[in-house]
Structure formats: structure tokens, C-alpha cells
Amino acid sequence: MNATRQIYWNIQGHIAIYPLFLVAIVIFAYGFYLKYRLWHVGQPVDRNDRKGARAKSLIGFVLGHTRILRRRQPGIMHFLIFWGMVCLFLGTIVVALQSDVGLQIMHGPFYLYFMSLILNIAGLAVLLGLLIALYRRYIKPAEGLDNQPDDAVILILLLVIILTGFLTQGLRIAATHDPWAAWSPVGNLFARLFAGLGAATQSEVHRALWWSHLFLALGLIAYLPYSKLIHIGTAPLNIYFRSLEPNGALTRLDLEDEDLETFGAAKLTDLTWKDLMDTDACVRCGRCQNNCPAYLTGKPLSPKALIQDLKLQVHQQGKLILAARKTAAHPTTGEHETAAGSELDAGLDEQNLVGTVLSEDALWSCTTCRACMEQCPVFVEHVPKTIEMRRNQVLMESDFPAELNGAFKGMENNGNPWGLGWAKRAEWADDLGVKVVATDGAPEYLYWVGCAGSFDNRNRKVSAAMVQIMRAAGIDFAILGTEEKCCGDSARRLGNEYLYQSLAEANIETLNGYGIKKIITQCPHCFNTLKNEYPQFGGNFEVIHHSAFIAQLIAAGRLPLQAKLNGTITYHDSCYLGRYNAIYQPPRQVIEALGLKLIEMPRSQRESFCCGAGGGRMWLEENLGERINMQRTEEALSTNASCIGTACPFCLTMLEDGTKRKDVAENIKTLDLAELVQQAIQSAQ
């Protein structure tokens, strides 16, 4: 006997599905089009290059759920609903193909395995996913979620659609005494409920449920773009159009462009369409906020709120902007409208992003740690928005926390944020006899010391350790000495693109002038900008962070590490080394080679918690909320390791400061990797 079932059993006029479907699709398309128009009040940006890589993102992040599954419970929840719905949707198409296109496919094993068994499992999966969702929202509210009516509507709608599906199937099985019922175990279970009903009732209830199921499903499609479910469309789009630039590269502003009326983003229309589309991809999952050091220490910044508040602006302001543009395009369509248009225009001018989307305090609270972007399942780009707003505040309004005045002037006049005399930049090396490029010629490796390594007493020790390590390994290296200037990382991330470019250009001129090819840095901030951003200005170097360099030297057997260090250590991943440049393993390899026992903090690697100094926060007071470095120090201390390892001068400063405030600095040392290696070399020698 050929396994199959009668399609549209008990249903007359099923053909009405198609016009109804068309109506749903039109409502859907219109809603989507409205959103599309709103996004395009933003600036153009090309996000359609490298199509292959983009398609690959879709496979991994959408179909594979690789990011979504990083959080177990919500990940599984989404996986079940997503793949369940995909299967059910495919099943519906198969039915249409069989009944109305005439393809004979709903037979035999395919019918039994896919159309019956798998679809039953799919329905069950969705049901399970929905129950997890309901639990997370209403029974035991999960961190970072906020409940809006839309959330409930969607969950209940889906729940009813799945249930009516199973009920209809159950009724059909019961009424037709389906011989293949065992292949639809869930439907079969429901069938038992109706076994006692008379045939007429069965058929009547079935019809009613069938049509309700249909209307609800079509209603869902139509409702989609008007609800959070728009993410079914926008999330894949957002992932496809995500930035493929290096994580650590901010966009270059063309400061020479005389046509530009404004730099950075003052208003909605200064952001790109992708920035605006981000807001309709955001599903309010709260993952960004749950990982944000500013938010978690009680500062007035939440990356989730930033995106949601921006969304509100897109929807409110965006409509006004479109209306105003329309009136401007047809100025003769009656006095009344024109008047309204100019009124709108006048009103629009007042809406600055800073103040509506983000308060000033929030704007300057961001450490650009990238935890938000690293976690966001739909690749919303928070940091670039913040930077664009900072750029506008600094470059156009000259409105920023007063402490920065000194840091900016210091970088400008003396090439370092402390404003210490530039002539003293190489004093740390005075007694070490380090070669200087200007007098000793270009080396194989330029050792880029950075401002902290040059001027900060604590970090000068790290520089000295680096010198000793490179000497022990027989590396041909030299420094720029007083010719080195601040790399500009802080300036750029504080929005001072003008200052950044002047520093970057001066450094690149010096480096290129000496024909430098390979650069070693000990600061992840220098590393990141030299590696990922200097190419924007004609500086193309092979840049190596000291952690990776030392790991290579050890692996190649070039460092005499006979003596092992004993003890335990916890390693703090710097944001600009880890999340920005994916250097997680080399520091750990070094620690292992040294014979130290590594105890990881609860939040490490991708999830590492910022020290509080990134994004130029090093040069700002931290007056709001708890101190970020204290929270991180406490986390480090919770491992009971006898040492805190870092690979960044800012992290070193922040965490050591934390241990001092906790009065444990005597016992728990905070050390740079280079200093640990130095100890091992010294005890070996």
C-alpha cells in the first residue's frame, strides 16, 4: 500500500488560500517597504562587496546558529523554533506542490519520514521552543529581557498556530482512521482526544480549526514587518551586510572634503542606512547589555537601550524626514502642505542624537570594549555609532569632558596624552643602550614602545623586560626614540579624528622614511591601530604584538627558559588584543611554557570583561557608578591565583591599581607577560 494521505480532506474551496496568501504578502511587503524607506534616510555605504564571504556568514550565523547558540538556553530555544518553523514551512510548500502544481511527491517513505514524522517532530520542537521562551519571559525572567505586548502576541500566536495544526491533524487522523497514524505520533496523540466524537462533529470542528489555522498563519505573515518578527527578514540581511573590515578599523573621515557640512553623526540622517537597519534587526535579547562593562557598573549606558532609542528615532523622525523631503520635492502642491513641510524641517533641526538617543554621560561612558558587538546575534554595530557621535561632539561642537583638553593638547604638542616633554620619550632606554633608528639605521624589527612604555614608570619596566627578551633571543631591533609619537588610538576612539590623522600621518612618514617593514608592539592599542588602521593612510607594516612574538620565540626554541616559574596565574584578555584581534592563545601558550598554572576567570577570552581604560577612557574620570577596574580586579582575585597576568599597559595600570585599592598588591602581583618571561630568563641565566 502506498503511504500517503488525502490532501485537503474535508475542505472545500482550499483554492482561496492563494488569494488570501497574496493579500498577506502584500501587507507584508508594504510593511517591509515602509521600513526600507526609513532606513534609507541614512547615508549610503557599500556593504555588498565580497559576496562569497557574505553568503558564508549567512550559512554559519543564520543556518548554523553559531552565535545564537553561544548562550545555551536562548540558543536552543531559538534553534528549535527556527528549524521547526523552517520544516513546517517546507511541508506547506510540498502540500501546495502536490495538490495544485500536480507534482506527485507526497508518497511512500518521503511522506512517512518527512511529511509525517519530521513535521511532527518539528511542530513539537517549535512547541518546546515556545515554552522555553514563555518561561524565560514570564516565569523566570531572564537577565536583559524586557517584556512588551508584541512579545506576548507573537508567542501566543505561534503557540495557537502550532496547536491548531496538531488539532487539525488529530481530527483528520481520528475521522479517517489513518493507517499511517503511527508516523505522526503527536497528531496521533491528539487523535485519541477526538476518537469518541461523532463523524459530523469531527468534520465540523476540523473545518473550523483548519480555517483558523490558515487565517492565523497568514495573519502572522502579514503582521511580521510590524512586529519584532521583522527580524526573520532583517537579521539575515543584517548578517549579510555586516562589516567585513577588520574589527579594529574605524572608518576614515575625509577631513579635506570641503563639501562635507558636518563630521561624524549629529542627526539621524548622518548615520548610514545600515546603522538604521540595525535597529530593526535588534531583537531586544539584551546580550549586549548583559556584557557591557559600563552598564554592569551602573553607568547610564546600555547598548541595547542605545539601539532601541535609535529605533524610536528612526520610526518617529524618519517619517517626518520622509514627509519633509516629499514636500521639498513637490513645492507646488498647495500652500498648506508646504507650510507643514517647512515646519517639519524646522522641527527636525532640533533633534540631535546626543541627548535623545544617548545622553552625554552615556556617550563618554563607552570603553569601546566591543563586548556588545561580539555578543549580538544579529551583528548590530554599536561601537561605530558611538564613535560617529563622539566625532561630531569633538570635531564640530568641541563639546567633551574637560579632562580631555589636556590629553588632546598633550598628544598634539608632545605626542603623548600625558603631555610630558617629547624630548624625554626615550629616557627609559638611556641606561639600556638600545639602538635608535635615526643613528643606528633601520633594524629588522622596529620596537614600537608606545606612550605608556615610554613615559609611565610602571610600564617602563615592561619595556626594559622586552629589551632583555629580544636581546636574549638575538633579535635585531631598534626604537624610533624621540621620533615616535602617540599612535593616536585614544584620540581616534574619543572622536578626535583630526588629531588622530595628524599623529598617524606623522608616524607613517617616519616609519616609511626609514623603510620599516616589521614592527613589534607591547601595547594592544598601538598594535591594533598600526596593524588595522594605518593602512588607511599608507602605512603597511607587518605588526606583531609582543605576546605573539614571545610565543613564537619560545616555540622556535630561541629563548633560554630552562627554569620554570612556579605558581598560579590568571590571565586578563585585553579587549584590543582579544575581541578586536582574536589573539587569545599566544599569551596562554607563553604562560604554559613558563610552567605557570593558569586559572581562568569566569569571563575570559571572547567574554573577557574590560579593565575600563579602552576607548580613551584612560584619560577620563570615572565618576559614575562603580569602578570598572574594581569589578574586574575582584573577578581576578576570585580565582585565588597568586598573580594577574596582562599583555596591555592600560590593563596593567588598571588592574594593579585595583589590587592596590584592595590592599592586596603586596601579595597578588600584576605583571605583564614580558615581565614573567624576563623572570624566567633571569633565573635561567
Partner 1 sequence: MRIVVCMKQTFDTEAKIALTADGLIDSTGVTLVVDPYSEFAVEKGIQFKEKFGGEVVIVCIGDTQAETAIRQCMAMGADRAVIVTDPAMDGSDQSATARVLAKAVISQEPDIILGGFKSVDSGSAQVMLRLAEILNLPHVNVVTNIEIGEGKAIATRELDDGVELVEVSLPAIFTAQQGLAEPRYPSVKGIMQAKKKELKRLTLADLDIDPTSVGPANAKVKIHGLTLPAPRKGGRIIGGEIPEATADLVKALRDEAKVI
Q: Is 213 exposed, middle or buried (0-12, 13-18, 19+ CB in 10 A)?
A: buried
State the helix-helix crossing angle for 457-472 and 546-555, rounded to 10 degrees.
Answer: 30
Nearer to ligand SF4, 291 or 327 (CB): 291
Among 380, 479, 583, 601, binds ligand SF4 (CB under 6 A): 380
- Among residue numbers 227 through 286, which ones bind ligand SF4 (CB under 6 A)? 282-286
Of the ranges 283-291, 358-366, 418-426, 648-656, which one interacts with partner 1 (CB under 8 A)?
Answer: 418-426
Site string for partner 1, 227-256 (x = CB under 8 A): ----------------------------x-
Report the 10 Å Cβ neighbour count for 34: 15
Q: How far is the CB of 557 from partner 1 (least distance, A)?
A: 42
Nearer to ligand SF4, 119 or 366 (CB): 366
Distance CA 307, CA 309 (A): 6
Among 142, 159, 323, 420, binds partner 1 (CB under 8 A): 420
Q: How far is the CB of 256 from partner 1 (least distance, A)?
A: 10
**Main-chain phi, psi angles of 55, to 5 degrees:** -65, -35
Distance CA 528, CA 568 (A): 29
Sign for the CA dihedral angle at 239, 240, 245, 251 comes to negative
Q: How far is the CB of 299 from ligand SF4 (least distance, A)?
A: 8
Q: Are strands 643-646 and 568-571 parallel, antiparallel or unpaired?
A: parallel
Choose from partner 1, ligand SF4, none: what does 380 bind? Cβ within 5-8 Å by kind: ligand SF4
- E runs forming strands in 306-420: none
Helix, strand or coil, per DSSP, at residue 501 = helix
Q: How far is the CB of 263 from partner 1 (least distance, A)?
A: 6
Helix, strand or coil, per DSSP, at residue 478 = strand
Nearer to partner 1, 195 or 255 (CB): 255
- Among residue numbers 358 through 377, which ones bind ligand SF4 (CB under 6 A)? 366-372, 375-377
Q: How far is the CB of 614 from ligand SF4 (least distance, A)?
A: 8
Instruction: Look up residue 162 and give its three cell numbers.
Output: 502550532
Q: How far is the CB of 376 from ligand SF4 (least distance, A)?
A: 3
Query: Which residues pair with residue 445 across a beta bridge?
Result: 477, 518
Choose from ligand SF4, partner 1, none: what does 15 bind? Cβ within 5-8 Å by kind: none
Nearer to ligand SF4, 265 or 283 (CB): 283
- Among residue numbers 301 through 360, which ones bind ligand SF4 (CB under 6 A)? 301, 303-304, 307
Of the ranges 127-135, 238-246, 390-398, 567-575, which one interacts with partner 1 (CB under 8 A)?
Answer: 390-398
Choose from partner 1, ligand SF4, none: what does 57 bind? Cβ within 5-8 Å by kind: none
Choose from ligand SF4, partner 1, none: what does 409 bind? Cβ within 5-8 Å by kind: partner 1
- Contact (Cβ atoms closer than 8 angstroms) between residue 521 and residue 489: no
Q: Total residues contacting partner 1 (rule CB under 8 A)?
A: 23
Choose from ligand SF4, partner 1, none: what does 255 bind? Cβ within 5-8 Å by kind: partner 1
Helix, strand or coil, per DSSP, at residue 316 = helix
DSSP letter for each residue of 514-561: TT--EEEES-HHHHHIIIIIGGGGT---EEEEHHHHHHHHHHTT-S--
- Interaction between residue 424 and partner 1 (CB under 8 A): yes
Helix, strand or coil, per DSSP, at residue 360 = helix
Of the ranges 85-93, 194-202, 408-416, 667-675, which one interacts with partner 1 (CB under 8 A)?
Answer: 408-416
Q: How far is the CB of 366 from ligand SF4 (least distance, A)?
A: 3
Whole-angstrom CA distances from 168 to 11, 105, 175, 181, 571 are 11, 22, 10, 13, 58
Among 413, 568, 682, 685, binds partner 1 (CB under 8 A): 413
Q: Which of 126, 155, 269, 314 is nearest to 223 (CA)?
A: 155
Nearer to ligand SF4, 79 or 514 (CB): 79
Distance CA 137, CA 118 (A): 28
Q: Tell me which amino acid residue 593 is.
A: A
- Interaction between residue 414 and partner 1 (CB under 8 A): yes
- Among residue numbers 253 through 292, which ones bind partner 1 (CB under 8 A)? 255, 263
- Among residue numbers 275 through 304, which ones bind ligand SF4 (CB under 6 A)? 282-288, 291-294, 301, 303-304
Nearer to ligand SF4, 292 or 543 (CB): 292
First to last CA, the chain: 85
CA–chain centroid gap for 682, Å, is 42
Of the ranges 34-42, 326-334, 396-404, 675-683, which one interacts with partner 1 (CB under 8 A)?
Answer: 396-404
Q: How far is the CB of 426 from partner 1 (least distance, A)?
A: 12
Site string for ligand SF4, 174-203 (x = CB under 6 A): ------------------------------
- Interaction between residue 378 and ligand SF4 (CB under 6 A): yes
Q: Total residues contacting ligand SF4 (rule CB under 6 A)?
A: 29
Nearer to ligand SF4, 170 or 248 (CB): 248
- Contact (Cβ atoms closer than 8 angstroms) between residue 491 and residue 533: no
Instruction: Look up residue 507 and give its three cell numbers.
Output: 608616524
Q: How far is the CB of 351 from partner 1 (least distance, A)?
A: 20
Q: Tell me which amino acid residue 228 is.
A: K
Report the 10 Å Cβ neighbour count for 680: 23
Of the ranges 85-93, 392-400, 645-653, 664-672, which one interacts with partner 1 (CB under 8 A)?
Answer: 392-400
- E runs forming strands in 599-678: 643-646, 669-672
Among 397, 440, 444, 476, binds partner 1 (CB under 8 A): 397
Instruction: Look up residue 231 and give its three cell numbers.
Output: 527580524
- Interaction between residue 402 and partner 1 (CB under 8 A): yes
Whole-angstrom CA distances from 597 to 462, 465, 585, 601, 634 are 22, 22, 15, 13, 19
Distance CA 99, CA 452 (A): 73
Query: Which residues pair with residue 644 across a beta bridge?
Result: 570, 670
Q: How far is the CB of 616 from partner 1 (least distance, A)?
A: 14
Of the ranges 171-179, 244-252, 421-429, 442-450, which one interacts with partner 1 (CB under 8 A)?
Answer: 421-429
Gyration radius (Cα) of the chain, Å: 31
Whole-angstrom CA distances from 95 to 91, 205, 470, 673 are 6, 21, 70, 63
Instruction: Look up residue 358 and give its three cell numbers.
Output: 544617548
Distance CA 502, CA 499 (A): 5
Among 409, 660, 661, 662, binds partner 1 (CB under 8 A): 409
Contacts to ligand SF4 by CB under 6 A: 282-288, 291-294, 301, 303-304, 307, 366-372, 375-378, 380, 382-383
Contacts to partner 1 by CB under 8 A: 255, 263, 394-398, 400, 402, 404-405, 408-409, 413-414, 419-424, 497-498
